[in-house]
Structure 1
Amino acid sequence: MQILVSGSIAYDRIMSFPGSFSDHIIPEKIHMLNISLLVDGLDEKFGGTAGNIAYALSLFSEKPVILGTVGKDFDVYEQWLTKHGVALDGVKRIDSDFTAGAYITTDKSNNQITWFNLGAMKYSCDYDFSAVDTENTLAIVSPGNLDDMQNFPETYRQKGISFIFDPGQNIPAFSGEQLLGMIKGCKILVANDYELEMIMKSTEKTRAELMELCESIIVTLGEKGCLVVEKDGETAVPAAKASVVEDPTGAGDAFRAGLIKGLSLGKTLVESAHIGAVSAVYCVEKLGTQEHSYTEDEFWARYKSSFGEI
């Protein structure tokens, strides 16, 4: 099965501030804020929704195709993805701009200040779908370029390509009407519980009404696992047990990769969500969204110890 993964491709630049932000902010002067903070160092990690999902899929020996845009500084990231068998023929390079980047500073109280530079992500990837085997393709639309997020669902509907819609942090960028247009006809709407509330508020639709537009909904619940909502009922899927929790960032993307792997194997949605849960737990045990790894034998052994035979 061909897997198309659209979304962001970004560098995560993570900094640690040894103090507390609150010690450097004068509340009565917030209208003219001007501060400079010295950080302990900077770690650069590969990230972005499409990059994370595609990397996690590569651990299952899949060769997903990323649809997205990158900038003139993409070379190192390109080598990493190519090394892991990720297809980049759907990636468009914008030589006049930088690859999207998140600049994240965390203080000693775990407060965060994040700046996100869209960079090349401002541009649509303009992917040519003419050669896609529509009957043997599964796509996921994850947060990325706004035009692509809005246009790809319509393309997939027209071509009969099964797709997952995952609006994530870009929900506020769309009107309720636009969100309904993107959700319509998707195989799965995936969102965490807060995001689903945002979608329902923006669209003025209940969860039951949203179910009339899509085949199913998966509500992720962090350490509590997820809820799989189908036409004939709902099933709670627990999270897999972590040996240590280092960083939950990227766990949602890893979950989506496991979910897609399960669907590609012909598993039920609930079985696929269990696979997603195991994929996610590997991610939370490492600092960074693409730092975890495993062999397929190791993965299925852990799956068995977590949930039994599939």
Structure 2
Amino acid sequence: MTTAKYDVLGIGNAIFDILVQTDDAFLANQGMAKGAMQLIDETRAASIYSAMGPATQVSGGSAANTIVGVAAFGASAVYVGKVKDDQVGRLYSHDIRTANVTFTTPAATDGPATGCSYILITPDGERTMNTYLGAAQNLRPDDIDAEQVAASSITYLEGYLWDPAEAKNAFVKASEIAHGAKRTVALTLSDSFCVGRYRDEFLSLMRKNTIDLIFANEAELLSLYQSSDVDAALTQLRNDIGFAVVTRSEKGCVVVTKDKVTAVPAFPINKLVDTTGAGDLFAAGFLFGLVRGTSHEDAGRLGALAAAEVIQHVGARPQTSLKDLAQKHGLPV
């Protein structure tokens, strides 16, 4: 296996995030299920935007948030996602590149506008997402740069990408290229509703070794196995894949292998402000630990540190150098 040029390559839905702080009454008036991610059309997107208050706007999407986090640790990161050559698409491209992320996916010249996600943050820090996929859903196998994938230690895929058929094909192509180059392929399950739509397909990806590492939170894990018992679901998970990480909010995470389950505590925080990106940034820290050759426990601590940083302010981007933060806490970088 040749030395990797890049540490982590992420593939996902390129979504421009529009974040606003609101209350439960707004969610109820809009008919939104608190804490869920709902796919919407362009008309619904315009309706939500007109009803919202002042917003923060930044390039996002689950895998993009993770890749920006990887770069904030000082690792080399690449992102693959589809935007349109429109004003929002150009803002997206510029914004993610300024985060030291390589982004070379060709922008679409026709078709739907660049995707946007309207993220409503309630006072308890919970986020409710309404996502217009737009151009993001038109990611195709031709958008996968085989040389970039083969040159990346880890290829990281988001479960949301499993919605559009062509993006699904791009996902599988990337996995095949990565494995052909003897690289690691990771998948985040993204959302319990996403798991509900594609449970059997996700299980098949795990059992057929299309992916090597799963990231999930407890709700996604329970949805995957249609269970109410976390321990029973973890046992099934260990039978289906050799390596997984399950996040448990304030309880930290568990790293699951065939041999053992390792619990890693959460980092303490001063105040929970916004959970947007918590899982994404946890994955960033964990993946960074893996490519730096740390123990699974230290990788979990790096993930917990990154998640703790991002939930104490609005938005899914770290507001400090995660590398400096890790060094401050004596973690390997």
Scaled by the length of structure 2, the TM-score of the pair is 0.77
Alpha-carbon offset, residue 118 of structure 1: 0.8
Q: Which residue of 1 aligns with 2:25?
A: 20
Q: Does the CA-based 8 Å contact 2:157-2:171 persist in structure 1?
A: yes
Q: Aligned partners of 2:19 and 2:25: how far apart in 1? A: 16
Cα separation, 1, equivalents of 2:152 and 2:27: 53
Residues 1:24 and 1:274: Cα distance change in structure 2 (over 3 Å): closer
TM-fit CA distance, 1:175: 4.6
- The aligned counterpart of 1:141 is 157
- Cross-structure match for 2:10: 5
Distance in 2 of aligned mates of 1:229 and 1:19: 36
* Conserved? CA contact 1:12–1:46, under 8 Å: yes
- Give the match for residue 88 of structure 1: 103
Judged with a 3 Å threshold, the aligned counterparts in structure 2 of structure 1 residues 158 and 238 are, in CA distance, closer, same or farther, namely: same
Taking only aligned residues, the RMSD between alpha carbons, in angstroms, comes to 3.1
Work out whether residues 127 and 275 of structure 2, in 8 Å CA contact, stay in contact via their aligned partners in 1: no
> With CA pairs under 8 Å and 6+ residues apart, which has the higher RCO, 1 or 2?
2
Structure 1 length-normalised TM: 0.82
Q: What is the match of residue 130 of structure 1?
A: 146
The CA deviation at 1:246 is 1.5
Identity %: 21
| CA distance 1:109–1:190, shift in 2 (3 Å) | closer
Q: Distance in 1 between matches of 2:176 and 2:298?
A: 28
For residues 291 and 61 of structure 1, do their structure 2 counterparts lie closer, same or farther at Cα, with a shift above 3 Å needed? closer
| Separation in structure 1 between the aligned mates of residue 185 and residue 28 of structure 2, nearest angstrom | 47
Q: CA deviation at 1:88?
A: 0.7
CA distance in 2, matches of 1:238, 1:283: 17
1:226·1:238 contact (CA, 8 Å) conserved in 2? yes
Q: Are residues 1:182 and 2:205 paired?
A: yes
Match of 1:249 in 2: 276
SS at match of 2:147: coil
Equivalent of 2:89, from 74, 81, 87? 74
Alpha-carbon deviation of 1:261? 0.8
Give the drift of 1:8: 2.0
Q: State the distance in 2 between where 1:130 and 1:94 align.
A: 19
Q: Secondary structure at the match of 2:268?
A: coil
In structure 2, do the counterparts of structure 1 residues 282 and 105 end up closer, same or farther at CA, with 3 Å as the change threshold?
A: closer
User: How far does residue 227 in structure 1 lie from its aligned partner after superposition?
Assistant: 0.9
Aligned match of 1:229? 256
User: Residue 293 of structure 1 aligns to a residue in which SS?
Assistant: coil
**Shift of the alpha carbon at 1:16?**
4.5
Q: Given the superposition, is the C-alpha separation of residues 15 and 173 from structure 1 closer, same or farther in structure 2, using an over 3 Å criterion?
A: same
Matched with 1:119 is: 134
Aligned residue pairs: how many?
Answer: 294
Are 2:277 and 1:272 aligned? no
Structure 1 pair 125/68, CA: closer, same or farther in 2 (3 Å)?
Answer: farther
TM-superposed CA distance for 1:120, in Å, is: 0.8
Alpha carbons of structure 1 residues 92 and 212: separation in structure 2 relative to 1, 3 Å: farther
Which structure has the larger Rg? 1
CA offset at residue 154 of structure 1? Answer: 4.3
- 1:271 and 1:108 mapped to 2: Cα distance? 32
Letter in 2 for 1:197: L
Which sections of structure 2, spanning at least 5 residues, go unmatched? 32-46, 163-167
Query: 1:136 Cα deviation (Å)?
Result: 5.8
Instruction: Give the structure 2 partner of residue 192 of structure 1.
Output: 217
1:151-177 deviations in whole A, cap 9, x for unaligned?
A: 54344344432111212223233251x
1:22: Cα distance to partner?
8.2
- Which of residues 143, 152, 171 in structure 1 aligns to 2:195? 171
Q: Secondary structure at the match of 1:211?
A: helix
SS at match of 2:159: coil
1:5 and 1:144 mapped to 2: Cα distance? 13
SS in 1 for 2:19: strand
Matches within 5 A, 1:37-52: 38-52=51-65
What secondary structure sits across from 1:4 in the alignment? strand
